[in-house]
Structure 1
Amino acid sequence: MSKPTDDETTVVLDGREVVVSNPDKVFFSERGETKGDLVDFYAAVRDPLLAAMGGRPVLLQRFPNGAEGKSFFQKRVEKGGTPWLETTVVSTPNGTPSNALVIADLAHVAWAVNRGCLGFHVWPNRADDPDHADELRIDLDPTPGVDFPMVRDAALLVRDLLEELGLTGWPKTTGNRGIHIYLRLEPHWDSYQVRSAAVALARELERRHPDQVTAAWWKEERGRRVFVDFNQNAPHKTIFGAWCVRARPGAQVSTPFGWDEFDEAFHPDRFTMPVVAERVAADGNPWAGMYERPQSLAPLLELHERDMAAGLMDAPWPPVYPKQPNEPPRVAPSRAKKSKSES
């Protein structure tokens, strides 16, 4: 980043000038990293960052006062002011349209960081192909009572099942306590089909490993097991982007990694901005192979079709979605049992 003049500086990224106001403003308290440091980090990981979310719409989570301050989600990009910004119309889960930022290049990332964005939540489709979800995101959610070693063990179970089906999962940290595993897909399926595949995967994992993994949507049924959050693949859902910095005091990064380094010493907290920048400089992009070899959803859809033929209903959807065909009642089992006993 160039030297600030008064309270702002101008950076040139991918051929565009971006004004960064208050570049010395501390965003992360643990090491005193600033807004300017965050822009510099994204410049350091430019190529893998744009490989992961370039050309995709994003939902911005803004923290005007840094990682430990209050935040809000910005769904719509204001018109005017920055004529080169690329946007696209997307729908939120309840069907409301909004004009979302498209990450066309690194300058778009810096534009968002200047507005306090510490969370890029990325759509599973490209802006130029909204009808096809080309990513399935497996979200291993550390519910209360679940520690990281349990999440790690569950991730390895996911890896093994995918391999059995002839598929390759590509893991990343969430920047917090969980793990995401991605499948880059051939662009042939919509988000409803991708979600169905995710439900089938979660259920198969639970059948095989009922003491470790759960597909139970209702928290009261999960126990001390790792939840495979299939609804992260529902239409219009976003997920925290790869190479993006979390709003945590230590500025942990949602970091792609290789399965060969996923040993017992592995912990997501160590993936801070300087660590990740050094990894990329030394070793490049561990997800490079994912983009070269998009995969078929067919093996997982076969599991889904088998479950439907066996008489299983769809899994519950989040409450913001319209009622779906073959969906069970949206009521927690304990409440349903209570209502039945009172009737």
Structure 2
Amino acid sequence: MGKKVKQTIQIDGYEIDISNPDKLLFPQAGITKWDYLLYLTQIGPYLLPYTQNRLLTTIRYPDGVNGEHFYQKNCPKKRPDFVETVRVDETEYILLNNLPTLAWLANLACLEFHVSFHYATNMNAPTEVVFDLDPSTSEFGPVQETALQLHQILQSLGLHAFPKTSGATGLQVYIPIENRYTFDQTRKITQFIARYLAERYPNLITVERLVKDRGNKVYVDYLQHWTKKTLIAPYSPRARSSATVSTPLEWDELAHLSSPTEFTLPMMIERIQQKGDLFATMVQGPRESLDDILSFVERQ
């Protein structure tokens, strides 16, 4: 038997051609394009609620994780009817709104899905506040400690927060907010909290944007949270040899986690079956008011 050159699948009533299904996308993990597609269709119901109507930037690896890659914001000219798009300035963004679109992107060897902090219909109103914690070394301990200190501060402010791994070396902390604040307003809050952390833990945390000025400290990135900027979506795979996934966590679990890279595509569905969708409340639960903290910060 030779290699299959093409296979067709049906999702939600649409036929999608999968070219080169036997191609290895993650060689070290032994994951072919067909395997990848199966994983994504299983993870889709948990990934898609978060990517709905957000601007998508994807990273394509036509020859797998070890090959060349490129970022794609503009939707390819030739696209199926089920792919929804929105034009912003000169860019025709894909909206990752349904399972057939996810499968179509899998066929294009899109291995990462990064989405905006806002809906396409409301460019200046973020749906959450996000802190991106970026370690300067390969050690996980410092970024773990930073996340836990940040959590304590947010708790003291009465804010519920949801952590997830980046799928690489870092962590991200999300606060679902009422959809009525501007990015200017959320920036005041994130900047205030990040600087407070850096002053309180000067040997651990920095807000230095330049890598050369960070030393071994954890960078609390509050600048990435802005209109049209993107961050890796929860449950998105990462283009790493072990096929890691950006994975929502429980706070108790984070305290005992040895490495953020232990969560991979093959284990994700079993994890969700055990723990449930840990980002469901972040996406669909109650939203936080920032009025009190905003008035406090503006008075400083």
Give runs of aligned pairs for residues 17-56 of structure 1, distance below 5 A. Answer: 17-56=15-54
Is 2:114 the partner of 1:114? no
- Read off the aligned partner of 1:242 and give its amino acid letter: P
| Cα displacement (A) at 1:300 | 4.5
CA distance in 2, matches of 1:108, 1:53: 11
Q: Distance in 2 between matches of 1:66 and 1:86?
A: 26
- Counterpart residue identity of residue 107, structure 2: N
Offset at residue 262 of structure 1 (A): 1.5
Instruction: Answer with 205-214 or 170-179: which moved more.
Output: 205-214
Instruction: Give the CA deviation at 1:146.
Output: 5.7
Which position in structure 1 is the counterpart of 2:84? 86
* Bigger share in strand: 2
Q: What RMSD, in angstroms, separates the aligned Cα atoms of the two structures?
A: 2.0
Alignment partners' CA distance in 2, 1:90 and 1:304: 32
From 230, 236, 252, give the equivalent of 1:238.
Answer: 230
Are 2:71 and 1:73 equivalent residues in the alignment?
yes
Change over 3 Å in CA distance of 1:302–1:24 after alignment to 2: farther
Deviation at 1:79, TM superposition (A): 2.9
Q: How many percent of aligned residue pairs carry the same amino acid?
A: 33
Q: Is 2:88 aligned against 1:98? A: no
Q: CA deviation at 1:280?
A: 1.3
Change (3 A) 1:24 1:146: closer
How big is the shift at 1:201? 1.7
Q: Deviations over 1:80-107 (max 9, x none)?
A: 441221001235xxxxx30110011111
Greater displacement, 148-157 / 110-119: 110-119
Partner of 2:194: 202
Find the aligned partners of 1:284 and 1:175 in 2 and give their Cα distance: 19
Structure 1 residue matching 2:197: 3-state secondary structure: helix
1:228-267 equivalent positions in 2, closer than 5 A:
228-267=220-259
Q: Which runs of 5+ in 1 are unaligned?
A: 92-96, 310-343
Q: Secondary structure at the match of 2:160?
A: coil
Q: What runs of 5+ residues in structure 2 fail to find an aligned partner?
A: none
Letter in 1 for 2:144: R
Q: What do the CA deviations read for 1:114-153 (whole angstroms, capped 9, x no partner)?
A: 111111111111223333211222100112x362111100
Does the CA contact (< 8 Å) of 1:200 and 1:300 recur in 2? no
Query: How many residue pairs align between the two structures?
Result: 298
Q: Is the 8 A contact 1:146 1:225 kept in 2?
A: no
Conserved? CA contact 2:53–2:97, under 8 Å: yes
1:164 is aligned with what amino acid?
A: S
- Listed one character per residue, the Cα deviations across residues 189-218 of structure 1 (whole Å, up to 9, x for unaligned) are 222322332212211211222221111223
CA shift digits 1:38-71 (9 cap, x unpaired): 1111221222211221222211111111111111
Q: Secondary structure at the match of 2:258?
A: coil
Question: Could you list the per-position Cα deviations for residues 223-277 of structure 1 after superposition, in whole angstroms to 9, with x for gaps in the alignment?
Answer: 2211101111122110111101110110000001111211334322210111112
Question: How far apart, in 1, do the equivalents of 2:293 and 2:142 lie?
Answer: 24
CA separation in 1, counterparts of 2:227 and 2:172? 18
**One-letter amino acid of the structure 2 residue matched with residue 136 of structure 1:** V
Call closer, same or farther: CA 1:217–1:186 in 2, change over 3 Å: same
The one-letter code matched in structure 1 to 2:5 is D
CA distance in 1, matches of 2:216, 2:150: 18
Answer with 1 or 2: which has the greater Rg. Answer: 1
1:284-325 deviation digits (Å, cap 9, x = unpaired):
20122222111123354345424xx4xxxxxxxxxxxxxxxx
Question: Any conservation in 1 of the 2:164–2:172 contact (CA below 8 Å)?
Answer: yes
Say which is worse superposed, 145-154 or 297-306, in terms of deviation: 297-306
CA contact (8 A) 2:138 2:169 kept: no
* Matched AA of 2:76: E
1:162 is displaced (CA, Å) by: 0.6
Q: Which residue, out of 10, 14, 17, partners 1:16?
A: 14
Aligned pair in 2 of structure 1 residues 188, 39: CA closer, same or farther (>3 Å)?
same
TM-score by length of 1: 0.81
SS of residue in 1 equivalent to 2:74: coil
**Separation in 2, partners of 1:211, 1:147:** 15
Where in structure 2 are the equivalents of 1:109-188 lying within 5 Å? 109-143=102-136, 145=137, 147-188=139-180
Change in 2 beyond 3 A, CA 1:200/1:241: same
Residues 160-184 of structure 1: CA distance to partner in whole angstroms, max 9, x if unpaired?
1110111011011101110011112
2:9 corresponds to which letter in structure 1?
A: V
Distance 1:236 1:34 in 2: 32
Structure-2-length-normalised TM-score: 0.92
- Contact 2:140/2:258 (<8 A) preserved: no
Distance 2:286 2:191 in 1: 23
* Amino acid across the alignment from 1:138: F
